[in-house]
Amino acid sequence: MFKLRFSKTGLTLAFGALLALICGALGGALLALTRDLPQIRSLEGFSPSAVTRIYSADEVLLAEVFQENRDPVALSEIPADLIAALLTTEDRNFYRHSGVDPKGVMRAIAKNIRAGTFAEGASTITQQIAKTLFLTPKKTLVRKLKEAILAFQLERRYTKDEILALYLNQIYLGSGAYGVAAAARRYFDKPVEDLDLAECALIAGLPRAPSRYSPLANPELALARRNLVLRQMRDTGAISAERYQLALSTPLQTITDSRPRATAAPYFVEAVKAELEAAVGPAGLYQEGLRVTTTLSSGLQTAAESAVRKGLEPLNAAKSPAAGSAPVEGALICLDIRTGGILALVGGSDFTTRPYNRASVARRQPGSAFKPVLFACAVQQGFTQASLLLDAPVVFRGADQGRDWKPENFGRSFDGEMPLRKALALSKNIPAVRLMEKVGPHAVVRFAHRLGIESPLQPNLALALGTAELTLEELTAAYAVFARQGNHVRPFGVAEVQDRAGRVVWRARPQKSAIMSREDAAITTDMLAAVVHEGTGRSAGVLEHPLAGKTGTTNEYRDALFVGFSPEIAAGVWVGRDDQHPIGPEATGAHAALPIWIDFMRAALAGRPTAGFDAPADLTRVLIDPDSGRLADPAAAGAVKALFRKGSSPRP
């Protein structure tokens, strides 16, 4: 038998070699773990995604837009009770450890061994931040080691208060709420700084299992969890026995409606979101916590929604001429004449079930509501309100794709020669088509595009009758040019955007472009005022305010419109069915759309000045016979005053 003998030197060398091998293995393992760890320096420019809030011009909250419902706040705004409650339940040694709590680790290991599974974690708040921001939630030993390493790095680079503030704003707290401020709004509908002790304890109990302990999902479990947090706070000395008893006796009082807050002016908000995405990008809209101020007037929006709802009720109550027809829908848009800002927008009767925006997106035939574009173009070419047009049967050879075309008047009656003013006021079709022939369809199309109408227009004679399809928004914006002294401004809904620090990052800068002379715009406006006082829109005269506008009706009563304006605002109304079926018998623009317009404008004009439309010094107002267009004797019955350029007034 051999005996192994080792000298002291040999033992020392062997032990040293073993130690080196162990250290090398540990070092290699550590290197492997740290090689693919994220760089925590990225946190220095990090700010958690936050809620973007959209407001009306008068500071009414319209909508909250977010990827994650989060409202970051400073640590100083968070109640001391909430901080104490969270530290008591999540990390009692937070201000004493260096990222990992050894006592907590040992305690969790013992419980997990007894349970035979991962019954309890030992993650500190710092480790939770590391996991949330950098790692996956999968429970593995490798992930836990990486989590610990990142926690040490975080503690070396950032202060405890910085880490705690990040945690309080980042953590998910159930029911779609991220961060304590969003949770305060979600569960109690109040700012985080206004939470009482019982409410603080409830929120502090959520991180353990947010969905399970949400008071909106499981109120009994939430109450039990809240009471446990309160008891732990009492036992650790965070609160007194008296405060504990008082909070314990407080009933659970969360908001009863668990649905997300409804969006006001939903059609407008959707249009604004599209505008914002173009201005600040999708990430800016959904993650940056912007404050968006729009052009919308909450009062006018309420009036618009009410007018559309009331106006559609009798139309939908009437029997439809076609079985299975879609319901009668309506749309309304109101623009600020001075700025071009959208003051109110209704895209339909019910955004939830029918979100299609019929004010800004839907293209429909405007019918005779397109005629003012033609007549304004004629005025630019030198026609006056007294220029004569023949209202008599006519056939245009080859005008309809090579076939003969015989236009008809709405009432199928003819009145002979009449001035432009009367032809527009009474919405006569044949005089309008004759005028289109004189002015030239190509010239009208070019002028319409300059007015801001971007929809495709075919340069043919039928365009005089509004056969092209365009949006209510672009048509209303075109009318606003007449009231704006000949200047076009593209409609817009976003006035200003601020970042979460209150800095302005985007501001609307509407640009005016001269489309027609001030004088021609005033003459066109005067003719459209005749529609209200002498023609198809005369029922709007009940408003006793300077108004101008035009009705529109398409074949078989498929579309009904009224677009008009005062010196301060322009508004357009469309009524029809989405499936293009007729609205109903005699559903003209005057009978289906104009009542909605009047109802809305009655509220919109309340309290506004009654100053008249613009009348440049180069124009003169003379008395004429509305039937012949000739100068009228001051004593003549039925004579009307009309605007003309000086030197172009009609003869007696």
- The answer to whether 475 touches 572, Cβ cutoff 8 Å, is yes
What number of helices (H) and strands (E) belong to the chain?
20, 20
Spatial separation of the C-alpha atoms in residues 171 and 210, rounded to whole Å: 10
* Catalytic-residue membership of 368: yes
Q: Write down the residue that tokens 């018998």 correspond to.
A: 585
Selection from 372, 373, 385 nearest residue 619 by Cα:
385
Q: What is the DSSP letter of 626?
A: T
Expressed in angstroms, the distance from the first to the final Cα of the chain is: 147
Spatial separation of the C-alpha atoms in residues 212 and 207, rounded to whole Å: 10
Q: Residue 462 class from Cβ within 10 Å (0-12 exposed, 13-18 middle, 19+ buried)?
A: middle
Check 90, 147, 288, 305 and give the catalytic one. 90
Spatial separation of the C-alpha atoms in residues 553 and 466, rounded to whole Å: 9
Tokens matching residue 75: 């640590």
Spatial separation of the C-alpha atoms in residues 5 and 160, rounded to whole Å: 57
Classify 65 as helix, strand or coil.
Answer: strand
- Residues 359-391, buried b or exposed e (16+ Cβ, 10 A)? bbbbebbbbbbbbbbbbbbbbbeebbbbbbbeb
Spatial separation of the C-alpha atoms in residues 619 and 457, rounded to whole Å: 32
Spatial separation of the C-alpha atoms in residues 41 and 10, rounded to whole Å: 48
* Catalytic-residue membership of 313: no
Q: How far is CA 95 from the centre of its chain?
A: 44
Selection from 482, 239, 491, 537 nearest residue 368 by Cα:
537
Check 123, 298, 360, 368 and give the catalytic one. 368
Spatial separation of the C-alpha atoms in residues 607 and 296, rounded to whole Å: 18
Task: Show which residues are catalytic.
Answer: 90, 368
